[in-house]
A and B are shown apart, each in its own frame.
Chain A
Amino acid sequence: MTEIIWYGRGGQGAFTAAKLLGAAYALKGDSCYSIAFPSFGPERRGAPVRAFTKLDSKPILDRSETEKVDYIVILDETLYSDSLKNLLKPDGRIIVNTKHEINDEVYSFDGSSISNSLHLPTVNTVMLGAVSEISGIVTIENLNHAIESYMPERIQDKNKKAIDAVKEEFR
């Protein structure tokens, strides 16, 4: 099973990203199963929030809290701390939206520059694109398919452009 934790602040779309990744993976084919869930409990705008995606080749029966993960994706760099690496599986990676190099263990990716250039209010789909490029879990096509299926129509184009821009960045 591949497990991903998303860190963001309420309103940044961490859960939307978790959900789109789950949907994109499920769209790959019949033996692709996924679940996505927010951190349980009440949430407030601006407060730190977490969201989770679990992906597997068989139906996911384990709905317990995620303990060790393959990827940690951080939408707001102020939520990064060195102790997060304790949550990683042996080959796990941390991906942070930041303009700075944090350290050698962390994949720093300047997602905000891309979302700003497209006048997108959130960086979630940009970071989703980055996860796709870095992990290969899903393709950009899978993500576009998920956006078309599960995002409101009026914001689909902008978000698909964001994914394309990430693809260019990694070229």
Chain B
Amino acid sequence: MAKKFLSGDEAFAEGVRLAKPQVISAYPITPQTIVVERLSEMVEDGSLKSEFIHVESEHSALSCAIGASAVGARAFTATSSQGLLYMAECLTYAAGGRFPIVMMNANRSTALPWNIYGDQRDSVSQLDSGWIQVYAENAQEGLDLALMSYYIAEHKDVSTPLMVNLDGFILTHTYETVDVPTQEQADAFLPAYETENKLDIDVPKNLAFSAGPEHNYIFKYKEHQALLRAKSIIAEAEKKFAEIFGRQYGGLLETYLTDDADYILITLGSIAGLCREIADYLRSEGKKVGVVRLRYIRPFPTEELAAAVKNAKVVGILEKDISFGNEGTIFTNVNSSLFRSGINIPAYNFIGGLGGKNISHEDISEIFDRIENGTEPVNFIGIEASEK
């Protein structure tokens, strides 16, 4: 292992290099981030033996990855914001075709008004596309997820594409020290991709076909079951990862001081660190608060979340997303999970960070305060009365 001072994009590119995808397809124009620039340099200098295909759009980037996966190749692409939305048609093709492509998405705002700063509306809007979705908190987790993603996505019980999300700028453009594993370690962790779901001249079969009503719903049922099965494969991947690399993640979600907490803030992505820091401070003042960081939101950690908050009096959900005319989508998902689990406690939604708006110490402190003392069901944080 070597310690390097890298941006989230660069760390992720190192993880992809170690995973050795045979095909990388990408459209290099804004809002794309430099992860694909680094990968193209690695291909150019020979440190990554991969076919790097420059395409003319994000729609083509994913189409190309689907084509590569359909002949049994390990494929990678990356995107962000409007680029992800332009891919949307292909997202369901990849998922329905059960092509285990790994894609990095830099979470950036969606137009209009045009803005390339970070928020999570791009990926959250695509939750129903059939992809596994995971959110990193820091650059190290990004690198580690690049490796773990292939293990999970390509597992024969899953065979589903996976989107790794890194908060735009806050993770993608921020430099920090990262442990870069050796190729030997990566090879010991990640087996070569083997599948029967490919075009093979010796075993001819039809892929990406039509299916009428009598069969179509069975495919959809199986797609759903595969995502649910991914839960145990995620646990398996993390166990093996910890054995080889010595870094352990918390599975579908991570809890902090939740065991005896009355007030729990649930969030995802890079803001979780600041939430934990504020929780520490509030604990020192005697307040029983805790934090849950959702890592995977597809499959959604219904049982794990219920276990984490079952003793809480109130929960708050902080997210960089809004489903206009309703509420934050993570809030909807959390409430549904708690309801299904028979947990009937107040839950408040806090929408923050849209279009890259900073979420400050004071904002998080105020959120904890409002969780404890009650507030509106859905709250936009950091917006002044005069701005409403």
A contacts, CB < 8 Å to B: 19, 22-23, 26, 33-38, 40-42, 60-65, 67, 146, 149-150
Contacts and interface: CB of A to CB of B under 8 A. Distances in A.
A63 B270 contact: yes
Specify the main secondary structure of chain A where it touches its partner.
mixed
B177 A61 contact: no
Nearest to B115: A41
Contacts of B173: 37-38, 40
Contacts of A33: 176-177
A19 B117 contact: no
Specify the main secondary structure of chain B where it touches its partner.
mixed
Contacts of A150: 5
B193 interface: no
A37 B360 contact: no
B176 A35 contact: yes
A53 to B, nearest CB: 9
Contacts of A146: 5
A35 to B, nearest CB: 5
Contacts of A38: 173
B177 A34 contact: yes
A61 B277 CA distance: 7
Interface of B: 3, 5, 116-118, 169-170, 173-177, 270-271, 273-274, 276-277, 356, 358-361
Contact of B5 (A22, A40, A63, A64): A22
Given A41-B117, A146-B5, A150-B5, 7 more contacts: A36-B175, A37-B173, A40-B118, A40-B169, A63-B274, A64-B358, A65-B360
B360 A60 contact: no
Nearest to A61: B273
A151 to B, nearest CB: 12
A37 B169 contact: yes
12 contacts: A23-B5, A26-B5, A34-B176, A37-B174, A40-B117, A40-B356, A60-B176, A61-B274, A63-B174, A63-B270, A63-B271, A64-B358
Contacts of B273: 60-63
A159 B276 CA distance: 40
Contacts of A42: 116
Nearest to A33: B177
A35 B175 contact: yes
A130 to B, nearest CB: 21
B202 to A, nearest CB: 48
A65 B3 CA distance: 26
B348 to A, nearest CB: 21
Contacts of B277: 61-62
A111 to B, nearest CB: 23
A64 to B, nearest CB: 5
B174 A64 contact: no
Given A35-B174, A63-B274, A64-B274, A149 B5 contact: yes
Contacts of B360: 64-65, 67
Contacts of B271: 63
**Among the interface residues B5, B170, B361, which one has the most CB atoms of the partner chain A within 10 A?**
B5
A65 B361 CA distance: 10
A18 to B, nearest CB: 8
A37 B358 contact: no
Given A26-B5, A40-B118, A62 B274 contact: yes
A62 B270 contact: no
A23 B277 CA distance: 24
B361 A64 contact: yes
B177 A63 contact: no
Nearest to A65: B358
**Among the interface residues A35, A67, A150, which one has the most CB atoms of the partner chain B within 10 A?**
A35
A22 B139 CA distance: 15
A130 B120 CA distance: 40
Contacts of B174: 35-37, 63
